[in-house]
């Protein structure tokens, strides 16, 4: 059982390990597909967490390719 909240609302998700593992597998597959597409099209691809500040992510991504 996983609880997520923002102070006003709360979401509870019941998931066993197999559901969590399948979600992680599918997420990684989509991530890899987007990364491959970006490379094929000559675009930058910068991974980030939802907890990271967008400006910091973009700055980090621009340093990688200089």
pLDDT band at 65 (very low <50, low <70, confident <90, very high): low
Alpha helices, H only, 1-66: 17-40, 54-64
pTM: 0.65
On whether the CB atoms of residues 10 and 4 are closer than 8 A, the answer is: yes
Mean pLDDT across 32-51: 93
pLDDT band at 61 (very low <50, low <70, confident <90, very high): confident
**2/43: higher pLDDT:** 43
């Amino acid at each position: 059982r996983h609880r997520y909240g923002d102070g006003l609302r709360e979401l509870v998700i019941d998931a066993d390990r197999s559901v969590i593992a399948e979600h992680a597998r599918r997420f990684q597959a989509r991530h890899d597909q987007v990364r491959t597409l970006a490379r094929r099209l000559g675009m930058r691809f910068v991974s980030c967490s939802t907890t990271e500040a967008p400006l910091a992510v973009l700055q980090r991504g621009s340093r990688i390719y200089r």
